[in-house]
Chains A and B, each alone.
Chain A
């Protein structure tokens, strides 16, 4: 008591009472009043036997200009996703499916490969660990690896470019794969083995949602003339194998990759039917990722070995070397920026030129691409503004993705975004999609 009074008195006398008086205001928190009465608390154990999650959203978008080959609406759908996770002793069952009402697509029959129709199963798999050093996931699953940001070199799992371009959530860029994934962990080095017993193609641009430049007719093509392809659909024959061997050296993550399968989007043509084909493809690659200066740097390279004789066959895409270098760092408060450089280098270019029919469009040997990502969070992270731009100096074209999302509630989010394609030529990679530039808005409720 005496010792408490003295500093207070002194403070009063000296006229500086702020610090000392503040000290007196501090209330002991509940539980600290008398340490002797503290008893150990039994922590509650609560298991969740059945887990349900999902969302409901409505997403509407329109083309900025008119496209003679498409509807004016670029997207217009109601989507209900339901996810169920059930744990058994050492087994986890996971099921995620979307139910869609999509008058823009206008196809309601379910096709689980292309994702068209009123139902799209994204995950239906079992996960278990048969050995201490092994995890297995079997069934329909989404798979991702590699170091690029929206650029994929050694990740040859199915992508959904239509969803990406019309403004669905980023998660829809990844299509599901029906696969067996075995992951082996040996401590410093680990190995992933993914076997896809029946080829899972990309949900590629086929004209039904996004019009594109058709080189055969030298004109834009859309929903009236969609791309027809020879699907590879023989179980255990038209299969894919993807390997990743990885380990870390300090803070640097390194990986070697191998893929044996097919070009994921049509990269060839059947000369008699004119249908798109998926020629054979092997990819050998590697990557490294880790801290560089104040941010994260990454480097990834892949050698795309197309089917034999591709170099001199104008109907099959040549072998390529692809490489990306990226760097991302925080550039301000809740503000991050990232840049990447990416190149596709066509091999056997002379053979390609020699085999090219007269008058056919001639691709350059190198396609250079830069990307820029900027993300800013505001209002306690409820407001997110993001911009991602692809720009190719060699094709003189690009693609700008904009998205602003605001969380009205923890469970309710509104979005506004745009997908803007630009370019000088109507046939270049992004330039061909110019008529598909669109803006969209969405309202999204999570449960």
Chain B
């Protein structure tokens, strides 16, 4: 393969990995924020349920977020490494929203998330919940800024090309047109829908797996844990419903600005078909599932265990569909990097095919390995449920699990003096396995 092809392939694979993490970050964020708020406002048994819900889903959110950042950093450097021509010609227009994204949205989001995790026992509950809401808002702002940059590539607006032929540079002429580009706005809302759908499927799939273990059948949940999974199931269904509605509405709305169609590539046609038919199926499910929540039918009806299995098995579906959708968008633009303005082969770096291949093997190999490990850990955490949650645990409990001696534990308080919002006595020592 040529260096251009290798650079494209490397970017596509790294972006796919990053995108899979972003889907869950944006889809799960609002649900964690709602659980956190309900915990802050609740008292008694309800407070226990929502505290566990916040800690469990917050931990899933964090472990997913971690690799999302790493993959995003690797991706951001790809422009400079392999497509310097894009920065030279369109850097002003394409780079500006990316600069806003990193300098403003991501900077705030990540700092706030750090405050949320490490200020767990230090801030009042209401403030603590507000910090997570701010994480969610800045996360969505960050995604929108990226969509503005990507929207410019698909449907360039609000710019002018200046300078002599062969050395032209794009300049922003109309910030409003750049930001309200339908390829940013409509597609952004379409992607938000895909994210909420992904979050919904994960909530529903994990809750179904645990509910199947509990057996259920009662009108009332048997304890705080079953209550937690019922709440997660409800939250997941509503998140998924909101997601599929947005996906459908803004998916079709996008056809308005895509005048050039999706190119001649047959793969694009197949992917488009797969994506649209899957979304239709999810739409049908979204019509049925909310009715099963009436009177808690989903938790009591006959044959529910079989349904739980189906819901758990379907968990990866929205991720596959979202990848198909992203491929349709990116492949549909080829051979252009900026539709109708700049071709990919005009902007690729002078690195040799061998150098690009070496970096492809190293970076893609590394990121795919880390992503698979991360998903495996997420699966184990999801299965472990509320057992030994580290997020929001008392420091002494965590250290006792690590086999800390008295001289270490002394610094972190006596065993049962209840640091902050910790869950009381704490579990028995796990011992060094």
A and B from one assembly?
no
Which A residues are within 8 Å of any B CB, using their own CB? Answer: none
Residues of B at the A interface (CB closer than 8 Å) are none
